[in-house]
Amino acid sequence: MSAESGHVVADGQATDVSVADVASAVRNGDRSASSIVEDHLSRIGELDDEIHAFTTVVADRAREAATVIDQKIESGEDPGPLAGVPVALKDNMCTRGVTTTCSSKMLEQWIPPYDATVVERLSAAGAIVVGKTNLDEFAMGSSTENSAFGPTRNPHDTDRVPGGSSGGSAAAVAAGFAPLSFGSDTGGSIRQPASLCGVVGMKPTYGRVSRYGLVAFASSLDQIGPFTRSVADAALAFDVIAGHDPRDATSIATAYEPVGPHLTDGVEGLRVGVISELCRQDLEGFEPAVVERTSRAAEALADAGAKVDEVSIPSVIAGLSAYYMIAPAEASSNLARYDGVRYGLRQPGQNTASMMAASRTAGFGDEVKRRIMLGTYALSAGYYDAFYGKAQRVRTIMIQEFEQVYQRFDVLLTPTSPCEAFRFGAKADPLTMYYNDVCTIPSNLTGQPAISVPYGTGAEGLPVGVQVLAPMLGESDLFRAAAVLERSLEGSVS
């Protein structure tokens, strides 16, 4: 890859390889884990000053982990399905001995004494963490402009945002810094940046991947998922991290069946519904080219044997308003722990109350403060039923409507983001920014899985993603459809 004016493009070097290829090469002895890690660390050192995908790069730790993998190979051991694969982690996932900042001044110096379950499972599978990635502070945002440590830039055009809140993780894969990264998705924070950066991003069923060790934003909505360059790589990564975890009370206890074996099943007879409320050319804020790409994706699924039809789900539009009551309310509760006493930054004060106020004033950024205040207001006496209670009723209606629709359809299709990557500062108004999540929020409110697949480019030549949605625990059908879309794109769509 090479850096040009405002643009980082792939050059086909060793960093532009798949997760499966890296793991295969290491396990077969064709490449050493150490050489692969050095390739990626070199690339990060060369270009991350321009992109700013990382908050922390753990070069020495990655080299030590690679040496261990190489020693296992030499002794005849199998290091696991992700042997030697460099991985980048959103900086809200606890990593033992490494700062976990949530891109906030509040946690700038915090070093967790334990690993998140996802981090444990990746390590057990042979993956090698190369760094922690930038995000909108405490995962609150859609552009990664809200990081306390500066914005991340889109590798396709460094004058534009990568999306958010997992913008650093999406940019890391798009720029070739790592073939695999992970983000968290509370209202679209994996899928929306995946769309804007031209990579695959997947949100699992709520409870299918453990949240243990994920710093909480909105606990009933948060999920961890992968970013990759291909659908097959996303399936491989998902198979590694999914499954029950007794340390997470919301973890699904049913046995997990891998999705990888179903990738080549095709979509013959699969029932696909195109959500009409999100696929109209006249929708405010939706770029016509984005809607057109979704129509092309529907045609591709039909050509592959799927039964495609339009379907109406009226509550999807109301979901945006409901989300921005529920998520801030949960954030207000979760972030109350950052008081200058038990966690995070402490500022001096004349008494406990003034110390807490000073610590939170200095530690939290504007967007975090905005959401905490909104959530606290929604939960306050006299307003609970009018705001938070009503939002939860909308959520229930949405869950019911989706359940009814999934009796007639196996998967659903929408755009991922209403637009291509936008320029920094272009959506400074909070309400305009929040509208970026209108297509992705429904899956978080219902707890159902969804995936964004790159599907060509829009009017300005920047990536556009289409989103496939599925019912609870419907990841196999989700990946089947995504794989067909990916194959239909190759050589046929610009």
CA distance 57 to 364: 24
* pLDDT value of position 326: 98
* pLDDT value of position 283: 83
**What is the DSSP code (8-state) at residue 233?**
H
Cβ neighbours of residue 353 closer than 8 Å, sequence gap 6 or more? none
* pLDDT value of position 230: 98
CA distance 120 to 122: 6
Cβ neighbours of residue 227 closer than 8 Å, sequence gap 6 or more? 166, 169, 170, 172, 173, 180, 181, 182, 183, 190, 193, 194, 199, 200, 201, 234
In the three-class reduction of DSSP (H, G, I as helix; E, B as strand; rest coil), residue 307 is classed as: strand
* pLDDT value of position 342: 83
Amino acid code (one letter) for 220: S
Query: Omega into 165 within 30° of 0, i.e. cis?
Result: yes
Alpha helices (H) in 75-221, listed in sequence order: 117-124, 167-174, 191-197
Residues involved in catalysis: 90, 165, 189
Mean pLDDT by 10 residues, the chain (494 residues): 48 65 97 98 98 98 98 96 98 98 97 97 98 98 98 98 98 98 98 98 98 98 98 98 98 96 96 96 89 97 98 96 97 95 91 95 97 96 93 98 98 98 95 94 98 97 98 98 95 47
Which tens digits make up the pLDDT trace of 44-53?
Answer: 999 999 999 9
* pLDDT value of position 5: 43
Chain centroid, CA 250 distance in Å: 19
How many other CB atoms are found less than 10 A from the CB of residue 272? Answer: 23
Strand order in the sheet with 307-311: 54-57, 128-133, 86-90, 180-185, 223-228, 200-203, 450-457, 463-469, 411-415, 271-275, 307-311
CA distance 456 to 99: 37
**Residues 139, 328, 452, 466, CA torsion sign:** negative
CATH code matching the domain that covers 12-267, chosen among 1.20.140.10, 3.90.1300.10, 3.40.50.300, 3.20.10.10: 3.90.1300.10
**What is the DSSP code (8-state) at residue 167?**
H
Chain centroid, CA 463 distance in Å: 16
β-partners of residue 275 are: 311
CA distance 198 to 453: 8
Indicate the domain borders of the chain.
Answer: 12-267, 316-393
Residue 158: C-alpha distances to residues 41, 54, 411, 432, 447 (Å):
20, 15, 34, 21, 33
**What is the DSSP code (8-state) at residue 273?**
E
* pLDDT value of position 116: 98
* pLDDT value of position 6: 66
